[in-house]
Amino acid sequence: MSITYLDSNATTQTAPEVLEAMRPFLADLYGNPSSMHTFGGQVHRRIEEARSQVARLINADPAEIIFTSCGTESDNTALMTAVETNPRKKHIITTRVEHPAVLNFCHHLGRKGFRITYLPVGGNGEIDPDLLLKSVDDETTLVSVMYANNETGVIFPIEEIAGRLADRGIMFHTDAVQAVGKIPVNVRDTSIDMLSLSGHKIHAPKGIGALYVRKGRRFHSYIIGGHQEHGRRAGTENVASIIGFGKAAELALTTLEEEKTSVSRLRDRLEQGLLASCPDARVNGDTAHRLPNTTNISFEYIEGEAILLRLDEYGICASSGSACSSGSLEPSHVLRAMGIPYTAVHGSIRFSLSRYTTEQEIDRVIGLMPGIVKELRELSPFGRDGVTGPKQK
Ligand code: PLP
């Protein structure tokens, strides 16, 4: 059975060009980039090329890019930098809709005595920059707001927020894991201090990330040991993945504008097709400020998990807004923060496309979904009015 992959915010297919670029570094070019010999030195040079490729994608200087093991490590490192470089200040501002890589680290810091402000979002998942500014006080050391949300695709006004925080002695970090490579991200001439990236969201392999740290900003190493990454992140480099990340960044930069149009056209076709054919369906999040590849749709009164299982039978991959934990369904913290009704949160599905998504795949999903939704509604334990209990036949 062929796979229809509409889960690109979870991870992406490694691009063939990326695999090709990586291959020599998994075979013949195995030298350690820190070695004195020429064999290792050539690997070192290729890592620096990859650094330049990643830097170009966000218009940074190569010296501002630190390779990490993933987006999560980049986020954790950014938060720890603020904590360690300014130990007297103990207040952090973030949002209620961050990825767990930021949110759970903030919970951890909260347990260690930090005061964390979790900003609310509106019904469309948007944040209020004025409210954010009002939350700043003399104790604030860091503001961390994601560039774009992984569940809804909603894009936040990051440059505006960073600009308004400038010169207040507060670090500004953004988790741009979902934004980079999908929309233009340009750190030059902004007041963004740190920005997280992850390779596997842009067709590089899993297990490689990067953190942009603005020149002149204080930095604290999270992984301590050898002198790799110019002394900022210890550990022998994941060479092949770094090379792959560089290639993926180069590809993303050259295709970004074209893909923004082609991918959003397919996303809109899917969204409109599903809204037209499935009753009681609604889009979650601000559709005017959204990643081109993402749509989050609630099919009310049914479980998203059940939809996923039915789609899975046809080889269609997507994600739901509730995750199974300890035997019960944990509703999405993002959709809950947006005040989406319980019956809609549980029936939400995220479809996320990529450059490899085809019109045939989209039309196949549009063709199958109405039947799946109808069938599951018949079986749904939720009444149409949202009151739980077995539905009367
Ligand atoms: N931040 C966001 C917004 C994400 O969507 C993800 C992954 O889903 C991460 C961070 C974590 O990245 P990684 O999987 O590379 O650790």
Which residue among 69, 155, 177 is best mutated to probe the pocket of ligand 1, counting the most ligand atoms within 8 A of its Cβ?
Answer: 177
Instruction: State residue 388's pLDDT score.
Output: 45
Rg of the chain in Å (alpha carbons): 22
Q: pLDDT digits over 226-270, tens only?
A: 999 999 999 999 999 999 999 999 999 999 999 999 999 999 999
Average pLDDT over residues 324-340: 82
Question: pLDDT grade, residue 386 (50/70/90)?
Answer: very low
Mean pLDDT computed over every residue of the chain: 94
Q: Which two tokens stand for residue 262?
A: 């082609």
Nearest ligand 1 atom to the CA of 199 is 15
* d(CA 108, ligand 1 centre) in Å: 18
Question: pLDDT grade, residue 323 (50/70/90)?
Answer: low
* d(CA 86, ligand 1 centre) in Å: 26
3-class secondary-structure state, position 60: coil
* d(CA 101, ligand 1 centre) in Å: 7
Q: Which residues contact 304 (CB under 8 A, 6 or more apart)?
A: 320, 321, 322, 346, 347, 348, 349
The Cβ of residue 189 has, within 10 Å, a number of other Cβ atoms equal to 8
Pairing of strands 171-175, 140-144: parallel
Q: What is the pTM of this model?
A: 0.95
Beta strands, E only, 132-235: 140-144, 171-175, 194-198, 209-213
Question: pLDDT grade, residue 382 (50/70/90)?
Answer: low
Q: Whose CA is nearest to atom 9 of ligand 1?
A: 71
Look up residue 380 and give its amino acid: S
Instruction: State residue 152's pLDDT score.
Output: 97
Residue, of 382 and 33, whose pLDDT is higher: 33
* d(CA 371, ligand 1 centre) in Å: 33
Average pLDDT over residues 37-58: 98
Q: Which residues contact 167 (CB under 8 A, 6 or more apart)?
A: none
Nearest ligand 1 atom to the CA of 150 is 5
Could you give all domains of the chain from N- to C-terminal order, each with its CATH number?
A: 4-11+256-379 (3.90.1150.10), 16-254 (3.40.640.10)
Q: pLDDT digits over 142-188, tens only?
A: 999 999 999 999 999 999 999 999 989 999 999 999 999 999 999 99
Q: What DSSP assignment string belongs to 11-39?
A: --PPPHHHHHHHHHHHTT----TT-SSHH
Question: pLDDT grade, residue 42 (50/70/90)?
Answer: very high
Q: Give the residue numbers marked as catalytic.
A: 324
Q: Which residue, chain included where needed, has tokens 């490192």?
A: 77
Instruction: State residue 325's pLDDT score.
Output: 53
Instruction: State residue 372's pLDDT score.
Output: 97
Terminal Cα-to-Cα distance of the chain (whole angstroms): 35
The response to whether residue 72 sits with its C-beta less than 6 Å from ligand 1 reads yes
Beta strands, E only, the chain: 4-5, 65-68, 91-95, 115-119, 140-144, 171-175, 194-198, 209-213, 281-283, 294-299, 316-317, 319-320, 322-325, 328-331, 348-352
Could you tell me the CA-to-CA distances from 301 to 38, 283, 364, 391 in Å, in that order? 64, 15, 23, 11
Instruction: Please tell me the distance from the alpha carbon of residue 151 to that of residue 284, in angstroms, as a whole number.
Output: 9
The response to whether residue 175 sits with its C-beta less than 6 Å from ligand 1 reads yes
Pairing of strands 140-144, 319-320: unpaired
Average pLDDT over residues 340-345: 92
Instruction: State residue 329's pLDDT score.
Output: 73
The response to whether residue 70 sits with its C-beta less than 6 Å from ligand 1 reads yes
Instruction: Please tell me the distance from the alpha carbon of residue 200 to that of residue 177, in angstroms, as a whole number.
Output: 9
Count of all residues that appear for the chain in the document: 393
Instruction: Please tell me the distance from the alpha carbon of residue 118 to that of residue 253, in angstroms, as a whole number.
Output: 33
Instruction: Please tell me the distance from the alpha carbon of residue 89 to that of residue 317, in angstroms, as a whole number.
Output: 44
Q: Which of 72, 131, 138, 71 is nearest to 96 (CA)?
A: 131
Question: pLDDT grade, residue 307 (50/70/90)?
Answer: very high
* d(CA 187, ligand 1 centre) in Å: 19
Q: Whose CA is nearest to atom 8 of ligand 1?
A: 10
The response to whether residue 99 sits with its C-beta less than 6 Å from ligand 1 reads yes
Whether the predicted pLDDT of 381 surpasses 70: no
Average pLDDT over residues 277-286: 97
Instruction: State residue 384's pLDDT score.
Output: 55
